[in-house]
Chains A and B, each alone.
Chain A
Amino acid sequence: MPYLPHIRPDHDETLIARLAVDDLDTPDAATARKLVADCPACAELLTDLTLIASATADLPAPARTHDFRLTEADAARLRPSSWRGLIARFRSPDLAFTRPLAVGMATLGLAGLVLASLPAGFGGVGGSTASLPEAALNTTAGPVQAQDAAGAPGAGALAPLGGPEIATDGKAASPAPVPVDRGAAVASQGNGSRDASASPGVIALPAPASSAAAATAEPSTAVSEETGSAPGPTPLVVLSLTMLVIGLVLGGLRLLAGRVV
C-alpha cells in the first residue's frame, strides 16, 4: 500500500479512490465528499487519482513487433488429430447437453447407491440389506448349535436361521431353522455344550469338534442353504453403478476435452 504522509490516518483513502470511479452508494459518497471538501490532502488525492486514471486511459498502444498470422505448418500442427478431435467435440456447443447429463447421471447414481445401502427401516430398499446379516451369519457360522435357546432371555426377538440344527448331544438333527438372537450372536469357544442360561441369549456359532461329524453327515444340505441365501447385487445397485460410471466418464471426457483444446 502506498504511504501518503500528508493524508490523515483517520481519512479513508480507499473511500476517496472509490469516489474517483464513482463507485459509492449514497451515504459513503456523502462521507467521501465531505472528506474532500474539508481536507486538502484528500482533495489532492482525488485529483491525482483522476489524473492518473485519465493518463492511463490515454497511454499510447504498444506497437506490435511480430506478425501473429498462422502458417500452414502451424495450422497442420494445431489441427486436432482424430482422437483429439473426437474428444474436443465434447466441448462443442452441439454436445453442451453432456454437462448436465453427466452431472445428473452421476448424482442419480450416487443417490441410488446411498438408497440401496440404507436399511429398510430408514427408508431404504432393504431387500438386499435385510438378507445381508442372515447371509453373513450363515456363511460365518456354518452349522449352528442350538443350546436350549427357548429358555434364553430375549427369545421373543429370535429369528430363524437357515443352518442345520445340531443337537446339544452332538447328534445330527433335522435341518429345520434354528432360532438365533441375531443381536447377541457371539462366537463361543470350547465344545459348545454350556448352558445358555449362563450367558443369556448367546449361541455358540463355530462348529464344535463334536458336531463335525454331523456337519459332514449332511453336507449337501449345508451347501444348498448357503448358496440359496448368498447376497447378489440388486437391480437398483446395478443401475446406480451404471449411471454413476456413465456420468463420471462423460464428465471426465468433458474435462479432457477442455485440456485438449
Chain B
Amino acid sequence: MEDRRPSAAVVDPVQRRDLILIERARGGDLGAFNDLVELYQDHLFALVARMVPDRDQASDAVQEAFFSAYRNLAGFRGGSVKSWLNRICVNAAMDTQRARKRRPVQPYPEFEDDSWQPPTGPEADPERLVLTAERTHVLNAALARITDDQRDAIVLFDIQGFDYAEIAAMTGVSLGTVKSRIHRGRLALRGLLEDRMELFRG
C-alpha cells in the first residue's frame, strides 16, 4: 500500500520530521505541536525580537503566533513548516508594530540585555569582547530607531538570510519596495552610527 501522506514524499529529514509532527498535531496530539514549538521558539523569538525591539511585546507576538499556528493547523498547505511559522511570526510582529502606531508614539527601549553579550572563552581577548559588546549595543540602539519597515527588511535580509522574493511575499510588498527599504535602512543606520563607525572599523 502506497503511503500518501505529504511527509512520505519529502526527502529532507528536517522537513520530513516537521511534517510528521504537523500531521500528528492535526490529529490532536498537543505534544507533537509542542515539539515543533520547542524546535523553533528560539529562532522565532530572535526574529520577532529584532523586528519588535520591546521584549514584552515581542514575547506576546511570538505567543500569539504559536496560538495562531495551532488554530490554523488545518490551513497548513504543505511545504516547509519553518517557512510557514516564519510567515506567521512576521505577520504577528507586523501586527504588533501596527498596534504601536495606533497608540501614542513611544520609542522602543534600547536593548540592555546581558544575554546579548557574545560568548566568552578562555582564549577571548577582553579588549575585543568589550569592543564587540559596545558595537552590538550601538547597533541595536540604531536598529531600534529606524522605521519599522526598514528594520523588518534589514532583519529579514541581513540577519535571517531571506531573499528579496521571500521578504516581499512575507511582508506583502513589491520586490522594488523591499530593495528600497533595505538600501534606505542601511543608509539610515549609517547616518545614526556615523560618529561610532570606529567600533565597526576596528
Chain A interface residues (CB < 8 Å from chain B): 1-4, 13-14, 17-18, 20-21, 23, 45, 47-49, 51-53, 55-57, 59-70, 72, 74-75, 78, 80, 88-89, 91-93, 96, 260-261
B144 within 8 A of partner (CB): no
| A75, B30: Cβ atoms closer than 8 Å | yes
- 17 pairs from A and B in contact (CB 8 Å cutoff): A2-B188, A18-B183, A48-B193, A52-B190, A55-B200, A56-B158, A60-B116, A60-B118, A62-B50, A65-B55, A66-B59, A66-B62, A68-B37, A68-B41, A69-B38, A80-B74, A91-B74
- Tell which of B113, B116, B135, B186 touches A49, judged by Cβ atoms closer than 8 Å: B186
- Give the residue name and chain of the B residue nearest to A74 (CB): B67
A55 to B75: give the CA distance in the assembly, Å: 38
- Tell which of A14, A65, A261 touches B187, judged by Cβ atoms closer than 8 Å: A14
Contact with A along B143-160 (1 / 0, CB 8 A): 100000000001000110
Contact with A along B165-194 (1 / 0, CB 8 A): 000000000000001001110111111111
| A17, B186: Cβ atoms closer than 8 Å | yes
B111 within 8 A of partner (CB): yes
Which 3 pairs, one residue from A and one from B, show the smallest C-beta to C-beta distance?
A2-B191, A63-B115, A61-B46
A151 to B154: give the CA distance in the assembly, Å: 86
Chain B contact-residue range equals 35 or more
- Tell which of A51, A53, A59, A78 touches B201, judged by Cβ atoms closer than 8 Å: A51
| A21, B187: Cβ atoms closer than 8 Å | no
- Tell which of B37, B63, B116, B159 touches A63, judged by Cβ atoms closer than 8 Å: B116
Contact (A78, B70) CB under 8 Å given A14-B183, A51-B200 = yes
Further contacts, 14 of them, CB under 8 A, given A64-B42, A70-B70: A2-B192, A48-B190, A48-B193, A55-B135, A56-B189, A63-B115, A63-B116, A65-B59, A70-B33, A78-B71, A80-B71, A91-B74, A93-B75, A93-B78
- Give the residue name and chain of the A residue nearest to B34 (CB): A69
A21 to B194: give the CA distance in the assembly, Å: 19
A91 to B136: give the CA distance in the assembly, Å: 43
B49 within 8 A of partner (CB): yes
Q: Report chain A residues within 8 Å CB of B116.
A: 59-60, 62-63
| B62, A68: Cβ atoms closer than 8 Å | yes
Contact (A21, B183) CB under 8 Å given A63-B115, A63-B116 = yes
B4 within 8 A of partner (CB): no
Contact (A70, B34) CB under 8 Å given A2-B192, A14-B183, A56-B143 = yes
- Give the residue name and chain of the B residue nearest to A61 (CB): B46
Contact (A1, B188) CB under 8 Å given A52-B200, A55-B135, A55-B139 = yes
- Tell which of A48, A78, A88 touches B197, judged by Cβ atoms closer than 8 Å: A48
How far apart are B12's CB and chain A's nearest CB, in angstroms?
A: 20
A200 to B141: give the CA distance in the assembly, Å: 88
How far apart are B171's CB and chain A's nearest CB, in angstroms?
A: 17
